[in-house]
Copies of this chain bind each other. A is one copy, B any other.
Amino acid sequence: MTGSAPQKPRIRDAEATQKRIMVAAKKEFAKSGLGGSRVDDIAERAKANKRMIYHYFESKETLFQRVLEEAYTDIRMAEQKLELDHLDAKSALEKLVRFTWKYYLDNPEFITLVNSENLHKAKHLKKSEVIHVVSRRLVDMVSSILRRGVEEGVFRENVDPVQLNITIAAIGYYYLTNRYTGSIVFERDLMAPEALTDRIAFNIETILRLVCKVSD
């Protein structure tokens, strides 16, 4: 309590500081959105001086853009590691639905960041260069599963891969992003462990019934 702090030797590490700022910013932006976040809070959480944020990232908005880009590349990279090619089409699709759900569940900041970006009409993502490259790989992945499913004779033809992609995301994303209002509206704890397992089962059923030739 008394006595001055034992004068910590100021360690200098540009890379580590930037990383700490990115991690802290992701958390703050996810918690409060772009508009609701405070640069001072980000600096404090990062254990960095506020000035460093402007030194390394120029502005609050640029920092947000960097955080958002990283969030997108992270999920797209995780998807690419799934190795769905050795599975039959139906199993591959089910695995993708499960993955998407689990990713949202384990990385809730992804959802909040995307929501915040849409409130701003995607003005930051528009400036991104890498987004198209990584996104195409996702669409290709789903297209490939659909094509194989048709070849195997288990999927019906002419299912739009983009619509399917959107639907797979939607049924998980909506449930989780609206978990607070949803729990009130439906008078049910949507985040209870049992509720979560119920939901993923329901989602798999939804997607398989949508693309499979024969249902029951």
Q: Could you say which residues of chain B place their CB within 8 Å of the CB of A182?
A: 166
Tell me whether A206 is interfacial, beta carbon within 8 Å.
Answer: yes
* Complex Cα spacing A167 to B204, Å: 12
Point out which of A36, A136, A162 has the most chain B C-beta atoms below 10 A from its C-beta.
A162
Q: Which of A7-50 contact B (CB under 8 A)?
A: 32-36
- With A128-B184, A136-B187 known, 10 other A-B pairs at CB within 8 A are A33-B35, A33-B36, A118-B181, A121-B180, A131-B184, A160-B202, A167-B171, A169-B174, A170-B170, A213-B216
Tell me whether A185 is interfacial, beta carbon within 8 Å.
Answer: yes
Residue contact B179 to A165, C-beta cutoff 8 Å = no
Interface on A for B, CB 8 Å cutoff? 32-36, 72, 112, 114-115, 117-119, 121-122, 125-126, 128, 131-132, 135-136, 138-139, 156, 160, 162-163, 165-167, 169-171, 173-175, 177-188, 198-199, 202, 205-206, 209-210, 213-216
* Complex Cα spacing A202 to B119, Å: 25
Closest to A183 in B: B122
Residue contact A209 to B215, C-beta cutoff 8 Å = yes
Residue contact A210 to B205, C-beta cutoff 8 Å = yes
Closest to A215 in B: B215
